[in-house]
Amino acid sequence: MILIAIDHAHGSPRRGAYELVSAARELGGEVAAVVLGGPEAAPVADALAAYVPSVVHVDDASLDHASHERRTTALASVAADLGVDVVLLGAGRSGQAVGPRLALRLGGALLEDVAAVRRDGPAVVAERLAYLSRASLTVRAEVAPVVVSVKPGAYPVAAPADAPGSVASRSVAFGAADDVARLGERRSAARGRVALEEADVVVCGGRGLGDAASFERLVVGLADELGAGVASTRAVVDAGWRPYDEQVGQTGKSVAPKLYFALGVSGAVQHLSGMNRSGTVVAVNKDGDAPIFKVADYGIVGDLHEVLPALRSALAGLD
């Protein structure tokens, strides 16, 4: 049986949850979903029941804002009770921390941050990027069960199933080690804009913008007009123009939108590793030799202060 762990926010599954449903259906076999959280997570479980035959809701409000240890214990007990051979979870920050713990606790293997996963006879095999996303590796788990963290955007969003599934609520027993870490204030970066990993269009600004005010006016301005996510390079974050959670690259987020604008971005390897799965890439930079042009579908060598206002008018003028 395959168990998928559902990420959710504000009473709804995140888009990644539906991507995991697609991955599970492709793998084949019985599928169940697990939702962690108090009563506010009940609608999440109900929503998932339209997609998978069986949903387990670990109904415990202590899981609404819980340590990695506590979440691992909850997932491990559900996985063990169901006797699963594969657990799928999203490779966001939380999934990347819980996945290894869960795999080790279940005595299994971890296939991490994969772009595709399949069965090869009894084995589970995956494709994943490595070496700052410059190489693609085919990897096989040598022990079971197999915990697989799936790269956001790697699979399409699934369609509902023909017949609705059922939801069962349960509780889980926690141990002393689950409560050692105490979590404090959470500062959410929500700014009423689409989440970067879920955006169809991402507008990214680099050091070439010159200053924070130009970034706000040109990059954020274009993003708001397109309903796009706003991203930054490391140089911009280090300069204090923009917050960390907008950073795309090795130490930031990994995105794969349909359309990616790289504006004033030079294209360091570390940045490319976070965006090179994007569909169409547009680069605007005043330096025609910038490495970003090597990964661009459309390149414009020019002054951002002239090109971007012109682009906004041109986009507004499309019928």
Partner 1 sequence: MIIATYVKHVPDAEARLTADAGRIELDDDAYALDGMDEYGVEAAVRLKEAGLADEVVALAIGPARSEAALRTALALGADRAVLLETDDDLDPLAQAGPLSEATLACGAELLWVGGKQADWDSAALGPAVAEALGWPLCDWTTELRLEGREVAAVHDVDDGSEAWRAPLPVVVTTQQGLNEPRYPTLPNIMKAKRKPLERQPLTVAARVVTLAAALPSRARRGVRLEGDAATVASELARRLRDEAKVL
Under rule CB under 8 A, which residues in 174-193 are in contact with partner 1? 177, 180-190
d(CA 14, CA 37): 14
Q: CB of residue 168 vs partner 1: minimum separation in angstroms? A: 27
Q: Give me the residue label for tokens 């002054």.
A: 303
d(CA 86, CA 97): 17
Contact 214, 305 (CB under 8 A): yes
Q: CB of residue 148 vs partner 1: minimum separation in angstroms? A: 11
* Tokens coding 221: 């301005």
Site string for partner 1, 141-180 (x = CB under 8 A): xxx---------------------------------x--x
Candidates 32-40, 86-94, 160-168, 205-213: pick the segment binding partner 1 (CB under 8 A).
86-94
Number of residues that bind partner 1 (CB under 8 A): 95
**Backbone dihedral angles phi then psi of residue 129, each to the nearest 5 degrees:** -90, 150
Q: Is 40 helix (H, G, I), strand (E, B) or coil?
A: helix
Candidates 54-62, 99-107, 157-165, 203-211: pick the segment binding partner 1 (CB under 8 A).
99-107
Candidates 32-40, 77-85, 121-129, 209-217: pick the segment binding partner 1 (CB under 8 A).
121-129
Q: Give me the residue label for tokens 């997609």.
A: 51
- Within residues 218-257, the interface with partner 1 by CB under 8 A covers 234, 237-238, 244-245, 250-251
For residue 12, state whether it binds partner 1 (rule: CB under 8 A).
no
d(CA 158, CA 11): 19
- Which of 40, 211, 280, 287 touches partner 1 by CB under 8 A? 280
d(CA 266, CA 70): 41
Candidates 19-27, 38-46, 131-139, 208-216: pick the segment binding partner 1 (CB under 8 A).
131-139
- Which of 54, 77, 232, 276 touches partner 1 by CB under 8 A? 276
Q: CB of residue 94 vs partner 1: minimum separation in angstroms? A: 6
For residue 273, state whether it binds partner 1 (rule: CB under 8 A).
yes
For residue 111, state whether it binds partner 1 (rule: CB under 8 A).
yes
DSSP H/E element including 81: helix 68-82
Q: Which is nearer to partner 1, 81 or 200 (CB)?
A: 200
Q: Which is nearer to partner 1, 28 or 131 (CB)?
A: 131
For residue 10, state whether it binds partner 1 (rule: CB under 8 A).
no
Q: How many residues does the chain have?
A: 319
Environment class of 42 (CB within 10 Å of its CB; exposed 0-12, middle 13-18, buried 19+): middle
d(CA 161, CA 165): 8
d(CA 89, CA 3): 9
